Structure 1
Amino acid sequence: MTITQHNYADPNEMPPLAQAVPLGLQHVLAMFASNVTPSIIVAGAAGLAFGGAEQVYLIQMAMLFAGVATLFQTVGFGPVGARLPIMQGTSFAFVGVLAGIAATQGLSVALTACIIGGLGHFSLGAVIQHLRFLFPPLVTGLVILAIGLYLIPVAIQYAAGGAAKFQMEAESFGSLKHWSVALTVVIVSLVLKFFTKGTLSNSAILIGLIIGYLLALAFGMVNFGAVGTASWFTSISALPYGFEFSLGAVIAVTLVSIVSAIETVGDVSATTKAGAGRQATDREIAGATYADGLGTAVAGVFGGLPNTSFSQNVGIVGMTGIMSRHVVTIGGIILILCGLVPKIGAVIASMPLPVLGGGVIVMFGMVAAAGLNMLSEINMNRRNMVIIAVSLAAGLGLNLVPEAVQYLPGVVKIMATSAVAPTAFVAILLNVVLPEDV
């Protein structure tokens, strides 16, 4: 949906409601599937029943607190919030670490780490400008690439009909029925993305999931049991899994938070450049970081996973030319309403794994591609190629052969085998100590 009769380069301008509401909905459609997927993956790693009440609750919190964190960004208060059209959502960057913690120590430890890590993330708002030198495109590109490559096997498992602790019937895993549903989602998503424009193109994955869901329904793969028993209005619980501190878990989540903060800096800069043709101010970058961290901490209190800015929504700002923060505020309100209705969470949770698998094949592949795109901006000299090679070898190698570090203690082992943390650590270290090629 492109509006050409007005130039809303000012974030404080408000389009007429007849235009603003569809634009806000468009922002929600573009990020909706990516927003709920991390909660589904972490719930599975924690051993929660697929489609069960606890998983439904995590999905609700993903929607609710993505909306709340979006309002922190767009409306803001005090130093919190960029006051820009920044859409927040559940971050894929944390999935590897949180899935590992949830699988070995439980959701109580994972969510406690999110709360404390979020507060640490919040504190970065005061110093973010001074840390940016640690995270050039070489480092952030490697981290994003590692996230995508780590998650791709999960996508294949889902598409084939099972994953982790909620594996489906062994005889049906990898069946033609499962793959036909997954590939339908992929094909529909790609056709809409590249052969349509506007809202259809921006919501291609969501529409692909809906088509795949309907096909799975026709195949008898959908169980509506949880939808029937879910209530229309939710009751939100503080610390639903308790508060259980683990220093290693907190360190792991905090390290990923630093990377997430730098990603947000990039998104803020891209938004102001695409929507207003200017550089982001220090106040906007600091405010966005404060909102990121606060949104993560508040979500963790109620059972939600960490939030971050969503890059796909930056593209919508550039496409529409609408820089109005009020448009994205409407999108945040829509997400909050979705999060308050358990029926919506139950419908999402009833989605068969092959349907979700088709969607995340595209999503996770795009995460990896986004990392490659960032790396394409750097000079591929001998030094940088060595950093790429060693960082990916360390991160992905330990993830593929976790037995290599089997004697490391608890969460340290989880960090070492998460793919993301070792890739980030090695890339940052080598980028600092290796001399520039001359």
Structure 2
Amino acid sequence: MAKRPPNLTYAVDDDPPLPATLLLGLQHVFLIAISLIFPVVIVRSIGGSPEEAEFMVSMSMLAAGVGTVLHALNRRGVGSGYLCPALCGPSFLSASLLAANVGGLHLLFGMTAVAGSFEVLLSRFLHRLRVLFPPEVTGLVVAMVGISVIPTALANFMGRGGADAATEIPELAVALLTLGTMVGISVWSRGRLRLYSVLVGMAMGYLASIHLGILTADHLDLFAEAPLAAVPHLDYFGWSFDVALLLPFMVAITCSSLKTIGDITTCQKINDADWKRTDMKNVSQGILADGLSAVFGGLVGTMGQSTSSSNIGLSIGTGATSRRIAFAIGGILVLLAFLPKLAMVFVVMPEPVMGATLIYSVSFMIVAGFQIIMSRMLDARRTFLVGIPLIMGLSVDALPGLYDGVPPILAPVFSSSLSLAAVLVVLLNLLFRIGISKRVRLVLRPGVDDADSIFNFLERQGSAWGARREVIYRAISATNELFEAVGSAGLAEGDIDLEVSFDEFNLDVVARYRGEPPVLPSRRPDVVDLLGEGPSASLAAFMVTRYANSVRVDTRDGACRVRLHFDH
């Protein structure tokens, strides 16, 4: 069972009061609304009408609402069971623009549904691919999710999210006020005000935007003119398929799946104080929900849906990760799909408010990603495994246009820093596994070798395996004590052969030698024992049992074997 982290006010299985649930859900909806720009961009790229854009925005809210609920379910193998909201996935944007320009919105809808079906199929055997997703891979993906949002976040923060190329003082003032309010409440507030830090910050941003003229009368007119309730036009529904676009959408859904794996890993970590590794069965359920969300999005008439990393960052910042909040988010989004007047509140969100909210949220994602990476030991292989994809991913944003010449079929991979880094880290992980043995040996000579030999050997292997640092150090301590107990008591007639094996769940150290077996007491030696002969060996033998999770000693025909087991 997961251990509840002390920094959470409402953990995943908690039931916040209904008013708190609705308010917490509402501030998540404000953050999700930022992604609604993607459907508008797609419609404008093909010269579509405002009605078509309105239709896609409404359907995007409907699909995001359904997807958010699916992720929170955790029933019949569907959903991770976490607060992991869905929205219009940035990974789909490049392929969606290509489809819309080739065959219109109907082709976009059809290809999105097909891509979602592929993700559903992937979820059925994803749990068997644990080797592809060690912590350094998932950690980098989580960090890149946050890093990839930085250009958008900063552009909006500075009031340059659209065609405006200049930062105005009022825009900067709103951004600083919004972010300052959010951060100030999170850092210095007492009680439960922290839960609503984003909602309070955004409210301050809206009020300041009205006062400083960023939200104008034209924006307010849009709200006034929007109908209170409306049913989407059925004329816009339709689906088509083009086999030539299959590969770009497969690349897009793969990148989206990698991001979702990172997002769910983050959810697992923030909801378990004793988190050790990614639960791939749980991830598979989340990927199934993600695929179903994309299929549903294509069928109702919008682009692909995927998990929202920014919203997960928001849940970290507020300390509220209850899945009940996900149901509130889903309900609000579904209602907004049919209530244009209320949806307009999100559509006219000022750019500085968007930017401040994104900066607040992605700060937590970036730090969480690097925490996951550093939960394991890193050698040269793993340093390059993290460093090269990170550098190449950053090049997409640092050097715009660098990859304009790539073949169109690979454009989704090079379209964002996240997708390029995610694909590279998975490929390099497979490459760098070559030459890593899961079973290694060391010969120890009593009276010649010392603790440094054991330390250097196990630390080097722990780094190569990407093992947890604390487990390797316990193994070093236990092996040192065993060497001391056997060596100082003269139990070994010759060399001690040490064999160490590792997998993601177990670390085993087996010592073989000819001679007498050590006596490993289950209780601490008393003062009389420590003052008698061989106190060092007696204490060392006891410490072996304290460091290892289990110890087994076997003897046969003068050969002794001591097996130390450590849970990983």
Distance between the aligned counterparts of 1:24 and 1:370, measured in 2? 25
Is 1:254 aligned to residue 250 of structure 2?
no
The structural deviation recorded for 1:105 is 5.2
Q: Which residue of 1 aligns with 2:502?
A: none
1:267-416 equivalences under 5 Å are 269-270=268-269, 273=272, 285-302=283-300, 303=302, 305-308=304-307, 311-312=312-313, 315=316, 328-401=326-399, 403-416=401-414
The structural deviation recorded for 1:85 is 5.0
The structural deviation recorded for 1:278 is 12
Q: Which residue of 1 aligns with 2:175?
A: 182
Post-superposition Cα deviations, 1:59-106, rounded to whole Å, max 9, x if no partner, equal 544443333223334457654345x35443226xx41x3343455554
Task: Identify unmatched segments of 5+ residues in structure 1.
Answer: 1-7
Distance between the aligned counterparts of 2:12 and 2:344, measured in 1? 39
The structural deviation recorded for 1:427 is 0.8
The structural deviation recorded for 1:244 is 5.7
Q: Which residue of 2 aligns with 1:191?
A: 184
Post-superposition Cα deviations, 1:42-66, rounded to whole Å, max 9, x if no partner, equal 63476479xx665555554444333
Q: 2:230 aligns with which of 234, 243, 266?
A: 234
Would you tell me which structure has more strand in proportion to its own residues? 2
Other structure's SS at 1:236 match:
coil
Structure with higher RCO (Cα < 8 A, 6+ apart):
1
The structural deviation recorded for 1:218 is 1.1
Would you tell me which structure has more helix in proportion to its own residues? 1
Q: 2:32 aligns with which of 28, 31, 35?
A: 35
Label 1:271 to 1:122 Cα distance change in 2 as closer, same or farther (>3 A): farther
Between 263-272 and 359-368, the greater mean CA deviation after superposition: 263-272
Between 175-184 and 19-28, the greater mean CA deviation after superposition: 19-28
Q: Which residue of 2 aligns with 1:5?
A: none
Task: Identify unmatched segments of 5+ residues in structure 2.
Answer: 1-9, 437-462, 465-568
Name the larger-Rg structure: 2
Label 1:272 to 1:219 Cα distance change in 2 as closer, same or farther (>3 A): closer
Post-superposition Cα deviations, 1:206-244, rounded to whole Å, max 9, x if no partner, equal 321221111111122221232122222232357658646
Q: 2:19 aligns with which of 7, 19, 22?
A: 22
1:106-117 equivalences under 5 Å are 106=100, 108=105, 111-117=109-115
Distance between the aligned counterparts of 1:241 and 1:183, measured in 2? 44
Distance between the aligned counterparts of 2:345 and 2:182, measured in 1? 20
Q: 2:154 aligns with which of 156, 160, 170?
A: 156
Q: Which residue of 1 aligns with 2:198?
A: 205
Label 1:327 to 1:251 Cα distance change in 2 as closer, same or farther (>3 A): closer
Q: Which residue of 1 aligns with 2:87?
A: 90
Is the Cα–Cα contact under 8 Å of residues 189 and 208 in structure 1 kept in the other structure?
yes
* Amino acid aligned to 1:359: T
1:213-224 equivalences under 5 Å are 213-222=206-215, 223-224=219-220
Other structure's SS at 1:224 match:
helix
Post-superposition Cα deviations, 1:392-426, rounded to whole Å, max 9, x if no partner, equal 22222244435443332224134224212221121
Other structure's SS at 2:228 match:
coil
* Amino acid aligned to 1:289: I
Q: 1:422 aligns with which of 420, 437, 450?
A: 420
Distance between the aligned counterparts of 1:216 and 1:405, measured in 2? 38
* Amino acid aligned to 1:192: I
Q: 1:100 aligns with which of 88, 94, 97?
A: 94
Post-superposition Cα deviations, 1:296-322, rounded to whole Å, max 9, x if no partner, equal 2212333254132753586599x57x9
Distance between the aligned counterparts of 1:430 and 1:39, measured in 2? 34
Post-superposition Cα deviations, 1:361-383, rounded to whole Å, max 9, x if no partner, equal 32334333332232232323222
Distance between the aligned counterparts of 1:192 and 1:268, measured in 2? 23
Q: Which residue of 2 aligns with 1:146?
A: 144
Distance between the aligned counterparts of 1:366 and 1:313, measured in 2? 8
Q: Which residue of 1 aligns with 2:553?
A: none
Distance between the aligned counterparts of 2:248 and 2:82, measured in 1? 32
Post-superposition Cα deviations, 1:228-275, rounded to whole Å, max 9, x if no partner, equal 22222232357658646422431222212321342354256447746x
Distance between the aligned counterparts of 2:138 and 2:277, measured in 1? 20
Distance between the aligned counterparts of 1:140 and 1:10, measured in 2? 21
Is the Cα–Cα contact under 8 Å of residues 255 and 423 in structure 2 kept in the other structure?
no
Distance between the aligned counterparts of 1:279 and 1:405, measured in 2? 35
Label 1:405 to 1:210 Cα distance change in 2 as closer, same or farther (>3 A): same
Is the Cα–Cα contact under 8 Å of residues 113 and 249 in structure 1 kept in the other structure?
no
Is the Cα–Cα contact under 8 Å of residues 112 and 244 in structure 1 kept in the other structure?
yes
* Amino acid aligned to 2:365: V
The structural deviation recorded for 1:346 is 1.0
Distance between the aligned counterparts of 1:54 and 1:193, measured in 2? 40
Other structure's SS at 2:307 match:
strand
Is the Cα–Cα contact under 8 Å of residues 101 and 411 in structure 1 kept in the other structure?
no
Label 1:26 to 1:273 Cα distance change in 2 as closer, same or farther (>3 A): farther
Is the Cα–Cα contact under 8 Å of residues 27 and 313 in structure 1 kept in the other structure?
no
Post-superposition Cα deviations, 1:332-387, rounded to whole Å, max 9, x if no partner, equal 32332233311122111112222222222323343333322322323232222112
Is the Cα–Cα contact under 8 Å of residues 64 and 330 in structure 2 kept in the other structure?
yes
Distance between the aligned counterparts of 2:55 and 2:191, measured in 1? 32
* TM-score of the aligned structures, taking structure 1 as reference length: 0.79
* TM-score of the aligned structures, taking structure 2 as reference length: 0.63
* Amino acid aligned to 1:311: I
Label 1:117 to 1:202 Cα distance change in 2 as closer, same or farther (>3 A): farther
Other structure's SS at 1:232 match:
coil
Is the Cα–Cα contact under 8 Å of residues 317 and 361 in structure 2 kept in the other structure?
no
Label 1:199 to 1:297 Cα distance change in 2 as closer, same or farther (>3 A): farther
Distance between the aligned counterparts of 2:345 and 2:151, measured in 1? 25
Label 1:237 to 1:79 Cα distance change in 2 as closer, same or farther (>3 A): farther
